[in-house]
Structure formats: C-alpha cells, structure tokens
Amino acid sequence: MLGNWLKTSILMAGIMALFGLIGAYIGGTNGMLLALLFGGGMNFFAYWFSADMVLKMYNAQEVDAASSPYLYNMVKELAGRAGLPMPRVYIIHEDQPNAFATGRNPENAAVAATTGILQMLSARELRGVMAHELAHVRHRDILISTISATLAGAISALANFAMFFGGRDSEGRPANPIAGIAVALLAPLAASLIQMAISRAREFDADRGGAEISGDPHALADALVKIHSYARGIPMATAEAHPETAQMMIMNPLSGGGLAGLFSTHPATEERVARLRAMA
C-alpha cells in the first residue's frame, strides 16, 4: 500500500509540473509561479469541494432507506462488512450501467450508481459492484481520483488559454504559435496518461478488495462482463463532456475505441475478470 501511495504522489507531482510548464510558456518565470499557485489553489479547492462538484455534474440524487431501500440497505450491509462508516448514497439517472465512489476520506465518502446498472444487474452482481466502490473508499483512492480528475480538467482549460492567447519566452518575446498548439494538444494528453497510470493499478486493487468485502469474486466478475457488453453501446453525455471523470467509474464510460483504448484509464476487462475468477 505504501508503494502505491509513493507512486501516486510522484504522479500527482507530475500533474503539478504540467501546471508549471504551461505557466512558463504563457508568461516565463512569473507565469510558471502563477500557474503553480493556481495548481496549488486547485488542489486545495479539489480537496474540499471536488466530490460535490462531480456529483452535481452528474445530477446525482441522494437517496436513503425510505427512497431507495434496495440500494441503500445493500450499501449499508457492505459498509458494515468492510468496517467503514456509512457513505452517502446517490442514484444517477443515466441508462449506461456504471458506478463510482468519491469523497475526501471514508468519513465523507459517497457512492453513486446509475439507473442503468440498477436495472441491468442482479442483486448479487450489484452487490459485487458496490463492494468494489467501497474498496476504493477503504483504500482511500477516492480522494486521489477525484483530485486528479479536477486537475486534469484545469490543465486542459489552461492549455486552451495558452493556445488562444499565446505565450512569452524567457525574454518576454511572443512565443512560436506552433508551440502554443503543441501545448494545447500535448498537455491534456500528458495529464490523461498520468491519470491512466494512477487509475489502472487502483482498479485491480479495488476488484480484489471488493471481492473480499462481498465474499463473492464471481459476482463482481459476472457484473464486469455484463457492464462491458453494454456500457460502450449506451452513451453517457456527461462523461463525454467531461472525460477527465471517466477514471472514477467502475468501467470506462467513454464511447471511443481503437487507439483511444490504448489510453484508457481502466485495465482490460478480460484481465480483471480473469484475476477475479482466479481468486475464487
């Protein structure tokens, strides 16, 4: 677990370095310092508010034992098995089957499931999925994934600013406009690659942890097979508009395939399923 945190800290430092590089392109040394301050401010903001921002972005509606006893009581039982405080529970009105967890720590965690996943999976399979999300909570992955999503979005916005408003070299002269286009294209790509590196290992850990919490590795494996079969054929507009949030989901919600699959924040479903079957 310590190795995971060290790796994640190094990768998050890489995201902050991207802020500095873009700032240096826009305004030299002063621009770099301002961009790093901006990045630090975004980190602070993301720590306290990013979870609510993501839930609001997906129009998630909080439910309780009265409004959604099926999902709420399932999460309550699994949280007890995991030794976790009861998280807030949300439903997202989307046809695509998917789910995610967010929050800065287990005491302030939230789990969300789409109406699509509630309708598609059996109770046993859904239990495996929610156990996976609670494993993210127990491993404290949710803070890193939410902050990295927020910062990746900010880097994309800053890179677009650099392309449209140009930059200055170290002597204050206008920079090459081609360099601005390169920054606008490569900086978000680099941020996405960092997100991918953060996310893939954590998905395997959450699969294993979820199987342990639920006590049924085959249930999660069966759920992943079903979700994989349907998710890409059912678009999720919010995820397409905010692709930086894709890595928070149990399955990649984006419709792109082919080359885009090489940069997926999720490991191959076949490998995830094979590892779960081996556990059983």
What is the reported pLDDT for 178?
61
- CA distance between the termini of the chain: 23
Task: Please tell me the distance from the alpha carbon of residue 195 to that of residue 264, in angstroms, as a whole number.
Answer: 9
106-117: pLDDT as tens digits: 999 999 999 999
Tokens, residue 37: 């301050």
What is the reported pLDDT for 196?
66
Query: Is 77 a known active-site residue?
Result: no
Q: 192: buried, middle or exposed (CB in 10 Å: 19+, 13-18, 0-12)?
A: buried
Task: Please tell me the distance from the alpha carbon of residue 23 to that of residue 25, in angstroms, as a whole number.
Answer: 5
89-109: pLDDT as tens digits: 999 999 999 999 998 889 999
Tokens, residue 171: 């002597």
Q: 203-236: b or e for each residue (b if 16 or more CB lie within 10 Å)?
A: bebbbbbbbbbbebbbbbbbbbebbbebbbebeb
Low-confidence ranges of the chain (pLDDT < 70): 1-12, 15, 25-28, 30-32, 35-36, 39, 43, 45-47, 145-154, 157-158, 160-200, 256-265
CB 198 within 8 A of CB 148: yes
CB 61 within 8 A of CB 93: yes
**Which residue in 94, 125, 133, 203 is the catalytic one?**
133
- Nearest CA to 250 out of 118, 77, 143, 101 is that of 101
- Could you tell me the residue ranges of all domains in the chain? 2-279
CB 208 within 8 A of CB 231: no
What is the reported pLDDT for 259?
42
